[in-house]
């Protein structure tokens, strides 16, 4: 096998034996495994050759890019791990056309930098952006903090190129905004977690770079008042809210414990801590007015001031410079680190309608002790899109208890019209939820598609489909 793979991608790029050490685990550490080998092809053609070989020999293949997933999607026991890290070129980037053609191994923050250099942004962003790669972002339809304004990953993709389970290459690298020509295979492969094909490149939408940001930490009386703030800000700015992130007291406390320099957002510690950011591109919103503030900052400050007067806010701090803004974001982006600071942890990535977040959290607080009186909650939420990262630290690592807690979370989320999986995907860890909660006709349709496109079950077997 090693010799055959070496013939396809070069000796140096087939790892085995001791070289596998850094490749035997997913990022969370929850999954450890023994891959057959790691192969690091340099091009779409090399990936196609490897997948063709795998199909011929009946070898299963697990694609991996940044390996920052949270659901065990890169578990590769007894499979060939196919790393996309060498497909790392930005093939094209044209600000006038607002597109970038990017390979799967490009790190998200590298694309951010490249877009920034031409005064554009690629809006997708989340804590792991310094390691996560475009291939994984697309395969999981990653979300993050800017979904509120710019949509999920799939909303930022015009075209893709992919290697199918047979090793054939499908070229759908269109830059067009209207292109109705058959089934939308782009959207089928995005979010398929590498089970239907390996996305090798994509045409991504760039957006104009905001010329002015205004960022604040806000302590409303309640989550209901937080939603009032969100709605008033959207109204005042014509929909310019980029992020609206909720951190409860325990998030702030643990952040201070694990980061030496971390501070309280307000002079008086608050129960509800909201990070809000608005941004503007139009000159009239960005140019400083008579009072020296750009209109977008004035809208934020005026909205906060009027809500403060109404008694809906307990405190608010507006970032006065980039360092203060960065501190606010660092606090939010420590979320994954905070969730994993204690083990075992049970990661739940649920979504409910925006106005049901408070009800979901209240119900969980009441009902969690029924499962595990000693369990502790750890919460952070993209409040602007209803996505709650509801981590539980249970009293033991018992598999039965874990499943019981996950079932409870699903029950409560679904009772409020929610979903058991918002932005992290299914992978391995959400398979029981998928089995229990997804529409059975939807699952059997997905299985029929998988069987049709990957009859030998070569690509990322055992993931996504129960």
**Closest distance of CB 422 from a copy of itself, Å:** 4
Residue of the chain from 35, 248, 394, 418 that contacts a copy of itself (CB under 8 A): 418
Work out the end-to-end distance of the chain between its first and last CA atoms, rounded to an integer number of angstroms: 30
**Closest distance of CB 185 from a copy of itself, Å:** 6
Spell out, one character per residue from 366 to 385, where the chain touches a copy of itself: x when CB under 8 A holds, - when not.
----------------x--x
Q: How many residues can be counted in the chain? A: 466
Residue of the chain from 220, 425, 429, 458 that contacts a copy of itself (CB under 8 A): 425
Residue of the chain from 63, 72, 73, 143 that contacts a copy of itself (CB under 8 A): 143
Nearer to a copy of itself, 402 or 430 (CB): 430
Please report whether residue 289 would count as binding a copy of itself according to CB under 8 A: no
Distance CA 85, CA 7 (A): 19
Residue 387 φ/ψ, nearest 5 degrees: -95, 115
Residue carrying structure tokens 């249970």 = 394
Residue of the chain from 228, 421, 429, 460 that contacts a copy of itself (CB under 8 A): 421
Please report whether residue 295 would count as binding a copy of itself according to CB under 8 A: yes
Residue of the chain from 76, 134, 236, 318 that contacts a copy of itself (CB under 8 A): 236
Nearer to a copy of itself, 357 or 401 (CB): 357
Please report whether residue 426 would count as binding a copy of itself according to CB under 8 A: yes
Residue of the chain from 82, 304, 316, 354 that contacts a copy of itself (CB under 8 A): 354
Contacts of 160 (CB under 8 A, 6+ apart): 138, 172, 173, 186, 189, 190, 199, 201, 202, 203
* Tokens found for residue 261: 């320099």
Please report whether residue 264 would count as binding a copy of itself according to CB under 8 A: no
**Closest distance of CB 214 from a copy of itself, Å:** 15
439-458 residues in contact with a copy of itself (CB under 8 A) are 439, 441-446, 448-449, 451-453
Please report whether residue 108 would count as binding a copy of itself according to CB under 8 A: no
Q: Are 196 and 242 in contact (CB under 8 A)?
A: no
16-35 residues in contact with a copy of itself (CB under 8 A) are none
DSSP 43-101: SHHHHHHHHHHHHHHT--EEEESS---SS-TT--TTSEEEE-TT---EEEEETTTTEEE
Spell out, one character per residue from 164 to 203, where the chain touches a copy of itself: x when CB under 8 A holds, - when not.
x---xxxxx-xxxxxxxxxxxx-xx-xxx---x-------
Count of C-beta atoms within a 10 Å radius of residue 42: 16
DSSP element (H, E) containing 103: strand 99-103
> Which of these, 21, 76, 12, lies nearest to 46 by C-alpha position?
12
């Amino acid at each position: 096998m090693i010799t055959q793979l070496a013939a396809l991608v070069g000796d140096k790029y087939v790892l085995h034996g001791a070289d596998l050490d850094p490749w035997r685990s997913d990022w969370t550490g929850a999954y450890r495994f023994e891959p057959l080998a790691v192969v690091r092809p340099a091009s779409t053609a090399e990936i196609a050759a490897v997948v063709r070989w795998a199909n011929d020999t009946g070898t299963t293949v697990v694609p991996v890019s940044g390996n920052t997933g949270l659901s065990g999607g890169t578990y590769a026991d007894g499979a060939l791990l196919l790393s996309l890290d060498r497909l790392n070129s930005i093939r094209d980037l044209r600000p006038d056309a607002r597109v970038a053609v990017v390979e799967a191994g490009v790190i998200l923050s590298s694309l951010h930098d490249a877009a920034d250099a031409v005064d554009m942004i690629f809006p997708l962003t989340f804590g792991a952006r310094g390691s996560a790669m475009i291939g994984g972002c697309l395969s999981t339809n990653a979300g993050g903090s800017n979904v509120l304004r710019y949509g999920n990953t799939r909303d930022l993709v015009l075209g893709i190129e992919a290697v199918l389970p047979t090793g054939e290459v499908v070229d759908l690298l269109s830059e067009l905004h209207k292109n109705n020509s058959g089934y939308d295979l782009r959207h089928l492969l995005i979010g398929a977690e590498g089970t239907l094909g390996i996305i090798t490149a994509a045409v991504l939408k760039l957006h104009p770079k905001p010329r002015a940001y205004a960022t604040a930490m806000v302590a409303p009386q309640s989550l209901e008042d937080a939603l009032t703030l969100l709605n008033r800000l959207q109204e005042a700015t014509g929909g310019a809210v980029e992020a609206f992130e909720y951190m409860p007291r325990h998030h702030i406390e643990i952040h201070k414990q694990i980061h030496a320099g971390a501070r309280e957002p307000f002079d008086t510690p608050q129960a509800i801590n909201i990070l809000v950011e608005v941004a503007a591109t139009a000159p009239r919103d960005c140019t400083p007015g008579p009072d020296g503030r750009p209109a977008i900052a004035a809208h934020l400050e005026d909205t906060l001031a009027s809500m403060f007067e109404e008694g809906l806010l307990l405190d608010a701090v507006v970032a006065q410079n980039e360092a203060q803004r960065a501190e606010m974001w660092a606090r939010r982006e420590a979320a994954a680190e905070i969730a994993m600071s204690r083990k075992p942890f049970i990661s739940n990535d649920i979504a409910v309608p925006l106005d049901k977040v408070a009800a979901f959290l209240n119900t969980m607080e009441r009902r969690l002790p029924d499962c595990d009186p000693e369990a502790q909650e750890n919460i952070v939420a993209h409040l602007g899109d209803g996505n709650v990262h509801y981590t539980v630290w249970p009293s033991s690592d018992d598999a039965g208890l874990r499943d019981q807690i996950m079932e409870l979370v699903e029950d409560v989320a679904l009772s409020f019209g929610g979903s058991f999986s918002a932005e992290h995907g299914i992978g391995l860890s959400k398979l029981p939820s998928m089995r229990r909660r997804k529409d059975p006709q939807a699952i059997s349709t997905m299985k029929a598609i998988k069987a049709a496109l990957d009859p030998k079950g070569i690509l990322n077997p055992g993931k996504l489909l129960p």
